[in-house]
A = this chain, B = another copy of it.
Amino acid sequence: MAEIPNTNREQAKVVDLASVQAACHGCSLRQLCLPMGVNQVDLHRLDEIVRRSRPMQRGKHVFRLGDQFHAIYAIRSGSVKTYTMTDAGSEQITGFHLPGELIGLDAIATGSHPCGAKALETATVCELPFLQLEELAVQVPSLQHQLLRLMSKEILSDGELLTLLGKKSAEERLAALIFSLSARFKERGFSPNEFRLSMSRNDIADYLGLAVETVSRLFTRFQQQGLIDVQNKQVTIRDHDRLKELAGSNAEDRAPQARA
């Protein structure tokens, strides 16, 4: 399954290059996103139903809380946060999403978006009208499979987050987030050890179920401990192993005084 480079030798018209990159089959995220495992022919059919957004800037909504559901969205570039509102004003952030990830899946059941999605930085998304997608999935088993897989992955990662929020200390939570981002950047071909946090401290705190102040203090502490380097939003991981250990769970530290 050789990668097709982002150039088109045969007819190198500008237009073609652009459209190839825009289309699923030219997208660098193909292997992470819905198209994975879908053959070239069927990929064109998927391409036909995809609507690509123009770049949307920081703070713009992909969809709002309560919007009627008609499509799911794949992040194409940039990053997006999803959130719900607790009855008072505070947001509970349910996820930070990177390119290749699908959002809006939680709306299928109810027909309206139970959470909103907002760009954390300039971002582009692909809109996948759900009715058409469903129809196509019936005809393209590999697409159905990948859709189920991605939904399952979402359920899986929600489950992990549940453990995080249910059982882990503030320290572990932040370590886990940094570690998760690192791993996901790596998957996408970016440096796993040096990246920019597109979300604010406040967003991080909301996501992790902590107070902003706590998050801030932790960043400072992690830096003092030589785990990471933080400069505003720029993070450099200094001790990947220790970070991983902390993220995975240092539960053993707290475990019964076994291991004399």
Binding site for B on A (CB under 8 A): 84, 86-90, 92, 94, 105-110, 114-115, 134-135, 137-138, 141, 144-145, 147-156, 158-159, 161-163, 165-168, 206-209, 248-249, 251-252, 254-255
Q: How far is the CB of A108 from chain B (nearest CB, A)?
A: 3
Given contacts A151-B155, A162-B161, A166-B208, contact A249 B87 (CB under 8 A): yes
Instruction: Please give, as numbers and ranges, the residues of chain B lying within 8 Å of A152 by CB-CB distance.
Output: 105-110, 151
The CB with the most chain B CB atoms within 10 A, among A105, A159, A168, A209, is that of: A159
CB distance from A250 to the nearest CB of B (A): 9
Q: A162-B94, A162-B165, A165-B166 are in contact. Are A251 and B87 (CB under 8 A)?
A: yes
30 A-B contact pairs sorted by A residue (CB < 8 Å): A86-B163, A86-B167, A86-B249, A87-B249, A88-B249, A88-B255, A90-B251, A92-B162, A92-B163, A94-B162, A105-B155, A106-B155, A106-B156, A107-B152, A108-B148, A108-B151, A108-B152, A109-B149, A110-B152, A114-B159, A134-B141, A134-B144, A134-B145, A138-B141, A151-B151, A151-B155, A158-B159, A158-B162, A161-B162, A162-B162
* Bound CA–CA A106/B151 (angstroms): 8
**Please, how many angstroms separate the alpha-carbon atoms of A159 and B207 in the complex?**
12
Specify the chain B residue showing the minimal Cβ separation from A251: B88
A147 to B144, CA, bound (A): 11
Contact (Cβ within 8 A) B255 A156: no
